[in-house]
Structure 1
Amino acid sequence: MRVPTLRFLGAFALAPLLGSCDAVRNPAQPAHPTLSQAATPTILDLGTLGGSRSSALAINERGQVVGTSTTGSGALHAFLWDGTMHDLGTLGGDYSEPRAIDPRGQVVGLSSTASGDRHAFLWDAGTMQDLGTLGGPSSDALALNPGGQAVGSSYTSSGDLHPFLWDGTAMRDLGTIGGSVNTTATAVNPAGRVTGMWFPPGPATYSRGFFWENGTMQDLGTLGGGSVVVVAINGRGQVTGQSLNGSGSFRAFLWDSGTMRDLGTLGGRESFGTAINDKGQVVGESRTADGGRHAFLWDGGTMLDLGTLGGNSRATAVNGQGEVVGFSTTGSFETHGFFWDGQTMHDLGTLGGSQSGAGDLNNAGQIVGSSTTPSGESHAVLWTVGRAP
Structure 2
Amino acid sequence: MMVFTLVAAAAIQPASGQSLVIKDLGALPGEYNYSNALGINARDQVVGFSIAASGSTHACLFENGVVIDLGTFPGGSFSSANGINNRGQVVGASSTARGVEHAFLFEHGVMTDLGTLPGSDFSAAAAINEHGQVVGSASNLRGYVHAALFENGTVTDLGTLPGGSDSGALAINDRGQVVGYSSTASGYAHAFLYDHGVMTDLGTLQGTGLSHAQAINDRGQVIGISSTANGDVHGFLYENGAMTDLGTLPGRANSNAFGIDNRGQVVGESDTGTNPYLPHAFLFEHGAMIDLGTLPGDNFSEGVGINGRGDIAGNSTLHAILWTREK
| TM-score interval, normalised by the smaller of the two chains | 0.7 to 0.9
Check 1:247–1:119 CA distance in 2 against 1; reply closer, same or farther (3 A cut). closer
Alpha-carbon deviation of 1:48? 0.7
Determine whether 1:282 maps to 2:226: no
Letter in 2 for 1:340: F
- Alpha-carbon distance in 2 for matches of 1:138, 1:228: 16
Choose from 105, 109, 121 the match for 2:92: 109
Q: Choose from 300, 312, 337 the match for 2:240.
A: 300
- Contact 2:114/2:153 (8 A) holds in 1: no
Unaligned runs of 5+ in 2: 1-16
Shift of 1:137: 10
Q: Identify the match of residue 21 of structure 2 among 42, 45, 61.
A: 42
Match of residue 76 from structure 1: 57
Structure 1 unaligned segments of length 5 or more: list them.
Answer: 1-37, 155-160, 163-178, 197-209, 211-218, 373-377
Distance 1:112 1:245 in 2: 30
Equivalent residue in structure 1 for 2:41, among 60, 63, 86: 60
Indicate whether 1:379 and 2:323 are aligned: no
1:80 positional shift:
1.0
- Residues 49 and 85 in structure 1, CA contact (< 8 A), matched pair in contact too: yes
Displacement of 1:250 = 4.1
For 2:23, the aligned partner's letter is L
The question of whether the paired residues in 2 share the 8 Å contact of 1:89 and 1:128 is answered with no
Specify which of 195, 199, 202 is matched with residue 263 of structure 1.
202
Q: What is the rounded CA distance, in whole Å, between the counterparts of 1:124 and 1:105 in structure 2?
A: 7
Q: Is residue 37–residue 313 contact of structure 2 (8 Å, CA) maintained in 1?
A: yes
> How many angstroms does 1:102 deviate by?
2.2
Measure, in 1, the Cα distance between the counterparts of 2:54 and 2:184: 48
TM-score, length-normalised on structure 1? Answer: 0.65
User: What is the alpha-carbon distance in structure 1 between the residues aligned to residue 222 and residue 288 of structure 2?
Assistant: 18
1:339 to 265, 277, 283: 283
Quote the offset at 1:248 in angstroms. 4.6
Count of residues paired in the alignment: 298
**Identity over aligned pairs, percent:** 46
Q: Distance in 2 between matches of 1:307 and 1:248?
A: 25
TM-score by structure 2 length? 0.76
Equivalent positions of 1:286-365 (< 5 A) are: 286-309=226-249, 310-333=252-275, 334-351=278-295, 352-365=297-310
Of structures 1 and 2, the one scoring higher in RCO (CA 8 A, sep 6+) is 1
In 1: Cα distance, 2:203 partner to 2:102 partner? 39
Distance 2:221 2:114 in 1: 35
Q: CA deviation at 1:103?
A: 1.5
Q: Does the C-alpha gap of structure 1 residues 107 and 379 become closer, same or farther in structure 2, counting only changes over 3 Å?
A: same
Amino acid of the residue matched to residue 229 of structure 1? S
* Deviation of the 1:278 alpha carbon: 2.1
1:128 matched to which residue of 2? 110
